[in-house]
Amino acid sequence: MSLLLLAACGGGGGSAPPPSPVPPPVVERSFDFSQGNGGWLSGQADYTPQTAPTGVVFEIRALPAGFAGSGFYVAGRNNSDDLFLYVKTRISGLAASTTYSVSARVELLSSAASGCVGVGGAPGESVWVVFGASAAEPLTVFNGTEYRVNLQRGNQSVGGPEGIVLGDIANGSPDCSNPSWRPKTLSSPEPAAISVRADERGEAWVLVGIDSGYESLSSVYHQRMVFRFTPR
């Protein structure tokens, strides 16, 4: 009779523990600008009303001679000592309200030779490539004296909580008199990554920009970008 009672009550071993929650997967998004701009948006910041940049261009354009296909051409003249030209897009398909570590790889073309002298700074080493990520859309706002991005990305060679400096646009050519376009790949330094919390829709924003301390025209062709979101 005791055995029957135990069997009827499930053997006295208690209920099985609930299964452990399955962690969200790693999410990777890749963008190839030879296929168009893919809905990316653009903006400019880090200037006053008196020092607004000139010659600003954001467009898909055929790559220069020697390269096949097209890229996202970004250019502008820094008329003071600071100019930030950026492109941005919204990433979807993330786990809602989940915190991720985000890293980036950016492939571009640059005509800025290395070790050259320029006004305010070098045309290569004084133009930094910045990667940013945030839950809210990055926007240029006027703070009463100048236009800035509403992102804690730091400035020029210094990063911030929502921005990492990937490197500069110096392309390794020693010829300062005859600029030539060369490819360059920049990636988030390991193990550094930006921490971002996806919103309730499972979305976040990424941004890539060139931040210039060189007081003249800077330009790049963005070719490909890859962003990796790793749950924390």
On whether residue 89 sits in a domain, the answer given is yes
Q: What is the number of structural domains in the chain?
A: 1
Q: What is the Cα–Cα distance from 109 to 67, expressed in whole angstroms? A: 10
Task: Say if 8 falls within a structural domain.
Answer: no
Distance separating alpha carbons of residues 187 and 107, to the nearest angstrom: 9
**Tens-digit pLDDT profile for residues 42-72:** 999 999 999 999 999 999 999 999 999 999 9
Residue 156 to residue 210: CA distance in whole angstroms: 9
Question: In this predicted model, what pLDDT tens digit does every residue of 95-139 receive, in sequence order?
Answer: 999 999 999 999 999 999 999 999 889 999 999 999 999 999 999
Name the residue with tokens 């890749």. 30
**Sign (positive or negative) of CA dihedral 47, 135, 166, 64:** negative
- More confident site: 5 or 130: 130
Cα–Cα distances in Å, from 80 out to 29, 59, 77, 121, 140? 35, 24, 9, 11, 18
Residue 228 CB coordination number (10 Å):
17
* Nearest Cα residue to 130 out of 208, 189, 194: 208
The pTM for the full model equals 0.88
Domain annotation covers residue 6: no
- Give the closest residue to 215 by CA, choosing from 13, 41, 47: 47
Residue 61 inside a domain? The answer is: yes
15 in a domain, yes or no?
A: no
Residue 30: inside a domain, yes or no? yes
Structure tokens at 227: 């962003």
184-228, pLDDT tens digit by residue? 999 998 777 899 999 999 999 999 999 999 999 999 999 999 999
Instruction: Kindly state the tokens that stand for 101.
Output: 């570590």
126 located within any domain: yes
Domain assignment of residue 91, given as a range = 25-231
> What SS3 string covers 105-164?
EEEEEECCCCCCCCCCCCCCCCEEEEEEEECCCCCEEECCCCEEECCCCCECCECECCEE
Say yes or no to pLDDT of 4 above 70. no
- Domain annotation covers residue 136: yes
80 burial class (0-12, 13-18, 19+ CB within 10 angstroms)?
Answer: middle
- CATH code at 37? 2.60.120.260
